[in-house]
Amino acid sequence: MDFIIAGVVCIVLLLILMSIGMQIGLAFLLGGFVVCVYLLGLDSSISLLGQASYYSIATPTWTAIPLFILMGAFASNGGLARRAYDGVHALARKLPGSLMVATCFSCAVFGAVSGSTIATTAIFGKMALPEMNRLGYNKSLSVGVIASAGTFASMIPPSMMLIIYALFTQQSIGKLFAAGIIPGILTAFIYAALIVILVKRNPSLAPNKKIEPEDDNPKSRAREVFQMWPVASIAFIVLGGLYSGVFTPTESAAAGAIVSLGFAWYLKTFTKLGDVTNSMREAANVTAMLFLINVGALFYSRVLAVSGLPSEVTMMLLTADVSPFMILLGVMAIMFFLGMIMVPVGIYALTLPIVFPILVKLGYDPIWFGIITMKLTEIGAITPPVGLNVFAIKGAIPKNMKVTIEQVYKGCVPFIMCDLVVLALLVAFPSIALWLPGILMN
């Protein structure tokens, strides 16, 4: 068995291990290690595993991940999601389907301080879903909009997945963050427009019951909107500090975590030391799980590189009589399919070592392709059979509200169509993603 065949076996072995239910980080480590032992021997394999475990993550950039996770934990447990929701709802109150529109935009706002799609989905599922159910909103569409809008956290910075993409491809985190802003906001507006159109055509989806408070007037609405100032302040400090050159990505994450903690104390949502330690414990658990996956994925990608399979496929496609655009569509189709059965980090480890060099040599911008992968990741999070956000919202649904997993997927379908429209726009007009980083980073 030569090196190329060993690379193919490495991929097949990973898929088999994942199909039998092995934790994805362990599947990467075991699948890569078995093939590495065959190619390099036991001693060299242990050495390569040690290098991947240490040198791959012993960089300041990796420190940003647990700090952004900690910032998100402080923000979510500190009540900032509720402030974002109430503030956006005050603006959207007069629109058809106002609670769904508010949920859509508040997920986008909270994504600027969360970075986690699953956390955003679970929080707004517990917060917005009971109110929509009380007012008689369509159950399927209600859970669909929360699961779909929760994916904004993977596009709108600070995004964990953009950081991981940057580490796999050695791209600028600052440029990727800037590139995700306009596509994320654009998706939120398209979602909101779809909701308004659907409710106008079928008012039974969101009954026009009275949801305005007794003192609904411009002054009270302005007061509710002003409640979002902590969220806006954190986003301004993190992103403003990063793009002004005051902070590195790691320093901006640390500043965001400190400011989020400060706001939680100031707003009296954190009243005792246990509130802080619980958030830190939650962030530590997520970080440990994510780092195991990342170390395994990086080791696995190194084993693939040793096999020579990525470079062989690159040369084969570059010399084939196939247009660059068709190659791009093929890559997107593969990632779209994998998004239905794998978590995003697994997709990156399996595909980026092979497809990234191909697309860069074909002239595609690596920052733009990062946003394309994020959009495919968003779609994968709400498509069967492994839609992570779908399972997150299913776990957040109150027990008295009976919604099947099929109803959740059905509610996500209109928003998947919206994502596909945005994806087509990004492919047709790369400047949607590249204009802002070109301005900010130059």
Confidence of residue 215 (pLDDT cuts 50, 70, 90): low
The residue to which tokens 């470079």 are assigned: 311
Report pLDDT digits (tens) over 176-213: 999 999 999 999 999 999 999 999 999 888 876 655 55
Average pLDDT score over the chain: 84
Is the per-residue pLDDT at 338 higher than 90? no
Confidence of residue 170 (pLDDT cuts 50, 70, 90): confident
Q: Using an 8 Å Cβ cutoff, are 116 and 72 in contact? A: yes
Is the per-residue pLDDT at 214 higher than 60? no
To the nearest whole percent, how much of the chain has pLDDT over 70?
Answer: 95
Is the per-residue pLDDT at 131 higher than 90? no
- Calpha distance 383→390 (Å, rounded): 8
- How far is C-alpha 182 from the chain's CA centre? 15
Q: What is the pLDDT of residue 364?
A: 93
Q: Is 105 left (phi over 0), alpha (psi -120 to 50) or beta?
A: alpha
- Calpha distance 160→177 (Å, rounded): 10
Report pLDDT digits (tens) over 380-419: 888 887 677 887 788 778 777 778 888 888 989 999 999 9
- In the predicted model, what is the mean pLDDT of residues 13-32? 81
Which sequence spans correspond to the domains of the chain? 1-55+291-306, 62-271+308-440
Report pLDDT digits (tens) over 239-292: 888 888 888 888 888 998 999 999 989 888 888 888 899 989 988 888 887 788
Cis peptide before 158 (omega within 30 of 0): yes
Is the per-residue pLDDT at 238 higher than 70? yes
Which has the higher per-residue pLDDT, 364 or 114? 364
Q: What is the pLDDT of residue 242?
A: 85
- pTM, to two decimals: 0.83
Q: What is the pLDDT of residue 107?
A: 85
- How far is C-alpha 163 from the chain's CA centre? 10
Is the per-residue pLDDT at 341 higher than 90? no
Q: What is the pLDDT of residue 211?
A: 56
Q: What is the pLDDT of residue 369?
A: 95
Q: Which residues, 6 or more positions from 267, have their beta carbon under 8 angstroms from its beta carbon?
A: 78, 79, 230
The residue to which tokens 């500043």 are assigned: 255
Amino acid at 170: Q
Which has the higher per-residue pLDDT, 429 or 203? 429
Query: Mean pLDDT highest for which of 58-67, 166-175, 342-351, 394-403?
Result: 166-175
- In the predicted model, what is the mean pLDDT of residues 343-357? 81
- In the predicted model, what is the mean pLDDT of residues 216-222? 72
Which has the higher per-residue pLDDT, 316 or 331? 331
442 exposed, middle or buried (CB, 10 Å; 0-12, 13-18, 19+)? exposed
Q: Using an 8 Å Cβ cutoff, are 61 and 174 in contact? A: no
Confidence of residue 216 (pLDDT cuts 50, 70, 90): low
Question: Within a 10 A sphere around the Cβ of 275, how many other Cβ atoms?
Answer: 17
What DSSP line would sit under 396-436, residue for residue? HS-TTS---HHHHHHHHHHHHHHHHHHHHHHHH-THHHHHH
Say how many Å lie between the first and final Cα of the chain, rounded. 49
Between CA 146 and CA 57, with CA 437 as vertex, the angle to 5 degrees is: 75
To the nearest whole percent, how much of the chain has pLDDT over 90?
Answer: 16
Q: What is the pLDDT of residue 408?
A: 86
Is the per-residue pLDDT at 429 higher than 90? yes
3-state secondary structure of 380: helix
- In the predicted model, what is the mean pLDDT of residues 331-354? 81
The candidate with the shortest Cα–Cα distance to 175, out of 419, 371, 7, is 371
The residue to which tokens 């084939």 are assigned: 320
Q: Using an 8 Å Cβ cutoff, are 78 and 270 in contact? A: yes
- In the predicted model, what is the mean pLDDT of residues 52-70? 77
